[in-house]
Structure 1
Amino acid sequence: MPSLRRTDPPAGDAAAPAPRKRFTRQLYFWVLVAIALGIAVGIAFPAQASQMKWLADLFIKLVKVVIAPTIFCTVVVGIANLGNLAKAGGLALRTVVYFTATTLIALAIGLVTINILRPGVGLGLSFDEADAADTISEASSTEAEGISGFILHLVPDSFFSAFVDGQLIQVLVVAILVACALTMLGSRAQGAIRGLTTIQDVMFGVIKIVMYAAPIGAFGGMAYTIGEYGGQILGSLAYFMLSFYATCLLFIVVFLGLVSRITGFSLMKFIRLIRDELLIVLGTSSSESVLPRMMTKLEASGAKKSVVGLTIPTGYSFNLDGTAIYMTMGAIFIAQATGVEVGVWTQVGLLLFMLLSSKGAAGVSGAGLVTLAASLAAFDSVIPLAGIALIVGIDRFMSEARALTNLIGNGVGTLVIARWTGDLDRERLSYVLDNPNSIDMDELMRVDNAAADTDADTAPGTEDAARPAQVDGEAVPDGAADPSGDRKAAPSAAG
């Protein structure tokens, strides 16, 4: 069966314009309303609002239920469809190289800006070690023992323990092993691939249902944040928080903007494309809450399914740019606030250590603080580990900037790697960025719609098939056959 590709716009009036969804039917509208209500409730009723965190936690848990099986199925099917282990290895190598480089740059930017802005110098703050006891305890229980500990952490205790524990990096390792085994089976693996594709489609159906609760999760998360911590953002801590936000913005606009331009797309248009996901992350302080939606949207934007399936899960463990910035800025701020002078070479050593310790950190709220504490434990003789108590109170506000930066960084990284490997439909991407409403997530995540492409997706060695483009709930008609015999599912001419 010929593969379906979303490439050129149809000639002439191949597709009739479809009515756009009303503003009040867009997900981002209701998430915005929920965030505004959460802020209002947090300010007016702080005591009651501080008890609403369970709403955000419930939404995140509902999403996390399907993350591991979705990633497993997507990675296995994507790599198996390549039909070539050498190509899969090349994709994995480029992914790791790019993510390592961007993490290093994020760490360096955080280190440079904290030394220039110096928000903690001259404060002479005292702290209560009891405020950081829980964080230090959690960090000590998860601290990796150097390179060997990091490598051992990649492998789960059993095949299913990675799914039970929710360790994305371990799920990714298991998925790669299974994908390699299926590739070696050749045509005999097609039945298993079709089965995994069906499971993936069911998971997308569950995600679509769960997303109806996104505004509730955003409301609870924002109400809790304002009600619990709103009064603690004072004086020098506010300066540090604003310094961190400014640094994240600098990283996104300057570095990611430059990378996007080199790759051939506009960063601002990409941010507009993922506005729904950004608002959900803003409300829940967790980038994991939109992981499946990001995978679907990037694939619909022209990135090959095999690239998205490998790059996004890897990025959630290896490319936490916001967390990297937070780690170097947080460490040096603690040193400045406690009057500790940290030499240049010690800071370089701290940066290199954090390059390793930041890998494998989960993309959930609070992981940045724990990872920072685990890194400071190795430099406790220079920077007091208990000084982490200084930023515990504002970490919730910092986690929102971390999660937003992580999400944008991983999205941009996926498109960069897809372009690098020649697996990016640039015309499709350009059209989608200019017409973000041409992607209807409700239709893309429908089980019956996703299953329609199973036959085209699951033949090893064939070009990966992308789901047909959707314009406000209607599949776009195929264009004329090209000389190769492939049919093209083209974006609508409506605009």
Structure 2
Amino acid sequence: MNIPTPNSSPKTKKSTFHAVITNLTFWVLIAIIAGVLLGHFSPENGVKMEIVGKTFVDIIKLFIGPIIFLTIVLGISGMGNLKKVGRIGVKALFYFEVVSTISLAIGVGVAYFFQPGKIDKSGLALQDASKYTNHAAENFSWLQFFLSNFTLQVLLAAIVCGIALNFYQKREQTILVLERFSNVVFLGLKYVMYLAPIGAFGGMAYTIGKFGLQTLIPLGKLMLCVYLTMALFVFMILGTILRYYKINILSILKYIKEELLLVLGTSSSEAALPSIMVKLEQMGCSKSVVGLVIPTGYSFNLDGTSIYLSMSVIFLAQLYDVHLSFAEILSVIGILMITSKGAAGVTGSGFIVLASTLTAIHKIPVEGLAFLLGVDKFMSEARAITNIIGNTVATIVISKTEHDFTELNLEPVIEE
């Protein structure tokens, strides 16, 4: 096959250039640079851009209720399929929750150890956070905690509706309507996310204009901590799980390298969903296990997203110099165990989950999301890659526990 040289393929040049300029990450990067420059060289105008970032966050918050409700209801109602495979479904959900909880805990632990949100003893204190700390740690009440915020009420209603829907005679028709409505909501979110560069520009210009270039230090530390934590999670936690079954994590990564590159390019683990299912079947996992675990895992097993979300919450708490009690940290983990489900594959969903979690905690200013927006896109690749590796490992583990794994097919396929 003849490989065209760069000079002989103007069409390739054109398509590559088009792909770059239509990539949202590219424009977010440009917006961040523009925001930094405006905030640094014209601080007074940078501060005026606060309304731009704040408006974007306010628009995002409008999607919190519908997306959380639809995601949880459709996720639970879809569990009707798990009844057909009974034991496999229970094992899969148990595995998902255990590993997801570990990833959440690791994210919290690393964030507290490295403290990426602090550059001095008092943090940046971007705003007066006292108005968000209505519940002191010693007066913390779970009942009041639930009654005081809308997000948890939506979660409870979604869980009840999802369970009830499994017993409804016209379940399929109802699910079809909800899926169509969900598609509309996510389509709306997709178009709103096109405004992300504007929101990033406003948030960064305001932050730099008011607090100076030193605010870039915690953002850099957060990105470094997130990537480091996800790498440790993949090689230490997932690697240890596979080692128990005498499988090398590096062999698995080599085997799915094409899918990882696809995810890297698209920042979405769903882009590789069809091919990863085929490869896992070729590796030796049974078709029934792959067909159950992978699609379910895309909603219930989001290790990378869990790490990022838990670290981001602690990061913002440090940024605003907000102290979280042990009970509140457990609340963060508990809320994220529910809200993080279904956040993979859809641009902006992770941002929605983070907004809903902050709203539920009712202690950390939601406006801090404008500060995070500047680097959120640059951590999406790490989240998506960790998610797909986590689901690959989950499928192998469930197949192994079910003794439904063709051992002889594993090594030959991987070596290729």
The normalised TM-score by structure 2 is 0.65
Q: What SS does structure 1 have at the residue aligned with 2:240?
A: helix
8 A Cα contact 1:265 1:430, kept in partner: no
Residue 244 of structure 1 is matched in structure 2 by 226
For residue 180 of structure 2, the aligned residue among 164, 172, 188 is 164
1:128, 1:392 → 2: CA distance? 20
1:52, 1:391 → 2: CA distance? 13
1:51, 1:353 → 2: CA distance? 29
Q: CA RMSD in A?
A: 3.9
1:343, 1:366 → 2: CA distance? 29
For residue 262 of structure 1, the aligned residue among 217, 230, 244 is 244
For residue 334 of structure 1, the aligned residue among 298, 303, 316 is 316
Between the two proteins, what is the percent identity of the paired residues? 36
8 A Cα contact 1:366 1:396, kept in partner: no
Residue 358 of structure 2 is matched in structure 1 by 376
2:101, 2:365 → 1: CA distance? 24
1:39, 1:127 → 2: CA distance? 40
2:157, 2:182 → 1: CA distance? 21
For residue 279 of structure 1, the aligned residue among 261, 264, 270 is 261
Residue 453 of structure 1 is matched in structure 2 by none
Counterparts of 1:223-242 in structure 2, within 5 Å, are 234-242=216-224
Residue 384 of structure 1 deviates from its aligned partner by 1.9
Residue 203 of structure 1 is matched in structure 2 by none
- Match of 2:407, as an amino acid? R
Instruction: Show CA shifts across 1:178-236 (max 9, x none).
Output: xxxxxxxxxxxxxxxxxxxxxxxxxxxxxxxxxxxxxxxxxxxxxx99xx88xx79422
Residue 397 of structure 1 is matched in structure 2 by 378
Residue 388 of structure 1 deviates from its aligned partner by 1.9
1:416, 1:47 → 2: CA distance? 36
Greater per-residue helix proportion: 2
Counterparts of 1:264-413 in structure 2, within 5 Å, are 264-380=246-362, 382-413=363-394
Residue 150 of structure 1 deviates from its aligned partner by 2.8
Gaps of 5+ in 2: 5-11, 31-77, 130-148, 166-171, 184-195, 205-214
The 1:281/1:105 distance shift into structure 2, 3 A limit, reads same
Residue 360 of structure 1 deviates from its aligned partner by 3.2
Residue 430 of structure 1 is matched in structure 2 by 411
Residue 95 (str. 1) matches residue 92 (str. 2) = yes
Residue 269 of structure 1 deviates from its aligned partner by 1.0
Instruction: Show CA shifts across 1:104-149 (max 9, x none).
Output: 00000001000000011234152799xxxxxxxxxx9987623342
- Match of 1:274, as an amino acid? I
2:226, 2:273 → 1: CA distance? 24
- Match of 2:180, as an amino acid? V
Residue 48 of structure 2 is matched in structure 1 by none
Residue 282 of structure 1 deviates from its aligned partner by 0.9
Instruction: Show CA shifts across 1:55-76 (max 9, x none).
Output: xxxxxxxxxxxxxxxxxxxx99
2:224, 2:409 → 1: CA distance? 37
Q: What SS does structure 2 have at the residue aligned with 1:360?
A: coil
Counterparts of 1:456-471 in structure 2, within 5 Å, are none
1:253, 1:296 → 2: CA distance? 24
- Match of 2:300, as an amino acid? F
Residue 3 of structure 1 is matched in structure 2 by none
Gaps of 5+ in 1: 1-21, 26-32, 54-74, 80-84, 130-139, 168-223, 437-495
Q: What SS does structure 1 have at the residue aligned with 2:361?
A: coil
The 1:337/1:89 distance shift into structure 2, 3 A limit, reads same
1:128, 1:423 → 2: CA distance? 57
- Match of 1:236, as an amino acid? P
Q: What SS does structure 2 have at the residue aligned with 1:364?
A: coil
The normalised TM-score by structure 1 is 0.55
The 1:250/1:157 distance shift into structure 2, 3 A limit, reads farther
